[in-house]
Chains A and B, each alone.
Chain A
Amino acid sequence: MTPIEIAEKLCTLCQVCVKKCPFDALSMQDGKIVVNEKCTACGICVRTCPEKAMSLRNLPKKAIAKDLKDYKGVWVFIEHSDCKIASVSFELLGEGRKLADKLGVELSAVLLGDATERMAAESASYGADTVLVMNDPLLKNYRTQPYLAGIVQLVQKYKPEIFLFGATTMGRDLAGAVATKLRTGLTADCTALDIEEQTKFLKQTRPAFGGNIMATILTKNHRPQMATVRPRVMKAPLKDAGKKAAIINETIVVSAELLPTMIVDFILQAEQNAPLEDAQIIVSGGKGMGSAKNFDMLHAFASAIGGTVAGSRKASEAGWISAAMQVGQTGHTVRPRIYFACGISGAIQHVVGMQTSDIIIAINKDPHAPIFSVANYGIVGDVLNIIPQMTKIFNEGSGNNESH
């Protein structure tokens, strides 16, 4: 049985669907349109078929519809290292608050670790009504197995309807394991969440296909509805130090001998600058910079304005900038207040990594470069002249009247 039903009487074999399918999942064989294993049931073919010959097959909802009502509340996994809560967890508490209010349910922070007291209070001050705490030396540093065991234990006992994680290395490592253990749906790397008015389903919107399309995903018949959420897309709420939460302590049932991994060491990255994700001003260079040496002028400009230097994939592949400072689909997603795109053409893979910047300033010789269609300010000109000119203005301090 395939996900797409094709009414052969209506199908004219025009093959519009074959062309429109992003996943290459449809083809014409033996005078029929057939659906193959690459189908993700996205429904693009159903919507684009000019004859309306295609439909998504409705599967029997044999699942657990009656049990769904037992699941209540919105949970946020609190990610931390070195007793410091990750900023994405605050962002999720803010977003979780909105969802919980729409549903009229409680927002809970889920905190596993060792010596969690201060972090529990902090979770409350960012909006959690309840903090579920598991305190155990085994949970001091994140490891998949004990965290998985602890989380599954909590979910089975308290049954949340929504469970959010940051789309970080930790959040993705854990959520993928938890969802599999619970046999529920998990949507990766969401950039928007909402509640569907009538059904109360969690609407999970995420970019797919290298950022070329957006999809809204529902988990209809399974609970909890799980999602990982991209950092720095949602805004963290203001801290209210006076806000208190109910603290519920649970004991993890897991034995140390059974744990399959041991952390031998952790080497903190010795990046000179602040992590790229947290940078508020980014000066990013692309192929148009021409050489590693020309990147020096980006460094000079960045230091004049207190920015961080980054680059496109082309710049990183050419070795002009370290892979750790690459922006885009295969690098980092950034959301600075100002993003300078210097000699970057603006391929979609780059744009998806920086399009939520507050202000984008692009400098490019080619007036038709796609970067100009996303830039707030586009300067058509030679970056090798314009950047030194701007550096000079900022180094001179005042700069209101000198350049022209």
Chain B
Amino acid sequence: MIFFLMALLLHIDIVSTAIDSQYCSEKVTIVHIVVCLKQVPDTTEVKIDRKTNTLIREGVPSIANPFDLNAVEAALVLKEKYGATVTVISMGPPQAKEALRRAIAMGADQAILLSDRSFAGADTLATSYTLAQAILKLQDAGGVDLVLCGKQAIDGDTAQVGPGIATRLNLTQLTYVSKIESVDADGKHITVERKLENGVEIVRGNLPALLTVVKEIYKPRYASLPCLIESLAYEPVVWNAKQISADSSQIGLEGSPTWVETIFSPPLREGGVILNPGDENYDKEFSGLIDTVKKIVAEERSKLVCS
């Protein structure tokens, strides 16, 4: 009961902040930005046990997904420009609060953790449903103009949750954004640069919109020491499945159409010849190597001539 009341109070607080800023700031074009953030294992620290060919996860820290921090930074830049409120949301267990605090230390206004055992086992479809339900609740409370996500999470690398949220909430979908050029004065359009394989596309889209951002957009700022210390005491609001009116058939394992059938270690490439300048065979092996390269170089050159 107490928890419920607390949640209710905090909820009202969120609503009022969003509305306050609408009236406080002179020329408001963007009022409320929601950033989706995931806590992930730092996959760059993962090692493989070559004997058993399994992951060694011990000692691998949990971090805020790096691309999501680029999104937080983009939100903060817009906040500085337009006086918007920045809300950071994450789906995860209680320990994911740590990642949310990182965003608070950077300058986000509030953080919400979507935490419920029934969210476990979610694939991207169920995850986008869960996050969309929370954003819907924020929309009902006072509107959301912009949702920002990192382009993908480094543990799953799917890049599917952003488009999933946009599709569910009918937000204008703008992925791989490398620059936010401008927001129209009437707050109805946003112009962004999208980084594609062969160039940069400049797109103007209706608001509200969902952007997924690439790392080139902004480098995440370092939190100042006072902000960092203050953030340690910050308690994110926690919403469970019921509080976001989640349909139990669309969350967690049950809401996930994909099944992990097997997991295995990637087949290792066989190592080849090692050439050591000290060895007696070195010269012979080196010229063998050069011959191999020459053959391919010649083949590639002849291709160029033909085309």
Instruction: List the interface of chain A (C-beta within 8 A of B).
Output: 1-4, 19-25, 34-44, 57, 59, 62, 81, 143-145, 148, 168-170, 172-173, 175-177, 179-181, 183-189, 203, 207-222, 260-269, 275, 277, 280-281, 305-306, 323, 329-330, 337-338, 347-349, 352, 355, 359-361, 367, 372-381, 390, 393-394, 399-400, 403-404
- B205 in contact (CB, < 8 A): yes
Identify 12 residue pairs between A and B in the complex whose beta-carbon atoms are under 8 Å apart, listed by A's number: A22-B41, A25-B93, A41-B259, A59-B254, A148-B167, A189-B157, A209-B155, A213-B266, A262-B205, A266-B199, A378-B273, A393-B290
User: Inside 8 A of B261's CB, which chain A residues have their CB?
Assistant: 203, 215-218
Q: How large is the interface on B (under 10, 10 to 19, 20 to 34, 35 or more residues)?
A: 35 or more
- B2 in contact (CB, < 8 A): no
* Interface of B, helix, strand, loop or mixed by DSSP: mixed
Smallest beta-carbon distance B164→chain A, Å: 4
Q: Are B164 and A176 in contact (CB under 8 A)?
A: yes
Q: Are A36 and B191 in contact (CB under 8 A)?
A: no
**Please, how many angstroms separate the alpha-carbon atoms of A218 and B118 in the complex?**
22
Q: Are B289 and A263 in contact (CB under 8 A)?
A: no
Q: Mark B122-133, 1 if CB is under 8 A from A, else 0.
A: 111100100000
Smallest beta-carbon distance B230→chain A, Å: 26
Q: A39-B120, A180-B125 are in contact. List 19 more A-B contacts (CB 8 A).
A: A2-B117, A20-B55, A22-B155, A38-B39, A169-B176, A176-B167, A203-B261, A215-B263, A216-B263, A219-B259, A221-B257, A261-B206, A267-B199, A268-B198, A305-B293, A348-B46, A377-B289, A379-B275, A404-B286
Name the contact of A169 in the complex, choosing from B197, B215, B276 (C-beta under 8 A).
B197
User: Inside 8 A of A403's CB, which chain B residues have their CB?
Assistant: 286-287, 290
Q: Mark B245-275, 1 if CB is under 8 A from A, else 0.
A: 0000100111011111111111011011111
- B92 in contact (CB, < 8 A): yes
Name the contact of B274 in the complex, choosing from A35, A217, A264, A380 (C-beta under 8 A).
A380
Q: Are A261 and B266 in contact (CB under 8 A)?
A: no
Interface-centre pick from A144, A211, A338, A360 (highest chain B CB count, 10 A)? A144
Name the contact of B258 in the complex, choosing from A181, A213, A218 (C-beta under 8 A).
A218
Q: What residue of chain B has the Cβ atom nearest to residue A337's Cβ? A: B296
User: Inside 8 A of B116's CB, which chain A residues have their CB?
Assistant: 37
